[in-house]
Amino acid sequence: MQDLTYEELDLVEDASRFWWVFLAVGILWLWVALIVLRLDLTTAYAISIMFGLVAIGAGISEFFAIPVSSSGWKWVHGILGVIFVAAGIVAFFRPTDTFIALAALVGWVLLFKGIADVILGFVLHPLPLWWVPLLVGVAQILIGFWAVGYFKGSAVLLVVWVGVLALMRGFSEIVTAFRLRKLKKVVLRPA
């Protein structure tokens, strides 16, 4: 850890200062997952609106991650933010579309987020808990392929997919929060 440049040390200091924001966002995502999984949504309209809100929330969360990311990851967070917000907007404009379109939309969102989390897991390999984003990413990719390939999706299954997306997002944010908190203690420890 002593081989960090001044720019990297500044980034660690800036990012670790806001570890509690990631913790709060993670708890909020877990709360959203609990609400989504408890709702009795049976219409395409209600499911589309619920998915749109969750997707836009995920996009905003990605945009908040941009300032505390290294320059190489800023563009990934930006692209994911745009994809999530676009998916949420599409869900609002076409709330009565078939379940096939919504399942495909959920599947693509899970696929893109899963790929980003798998890459992040490999990049974080030497750090503690590097395997959490890797496992979450693999699960998201598998659920994403399932959602895209399941053309007779029911309302209940779509709600579960959106709930799982929020649940995985919550766990990822909480792990990131504690990783940043620990990183601050390790890297910025007085020499």
Kindly report, residue by residue over 74-128, the tens digit of the pLDDT: 888 899 899 889 988 888 887 766 456 667 777 787 888 889 889 888 887 777 7
List the chain residues with pLDDT less than 50.
Answer: 1, 98
* Burial class (CB within 10 angstroms; exposed 0-12, middle 13-18, buried 19+) of 6: exposed
| Element counts in the chain: helices (H) and strands (E) | 7, 0
Considering the entire predicted model, what is its pTM?
Answer: 0.61
Q: What pLDDT is stored for residue 1 in this prediction?
A: 46
Structural domain spans, the chain: 6-186
Count of other CB atoms within 10 angstroms of residue 156: 12
- Assign 4 to helix, strand or coil: coil
DSSP letters for 49-66 = HHHHHHHHHHHHHHHHHS
Q: What pLDDT is stored for residue 190 in this prediction?
A: 58
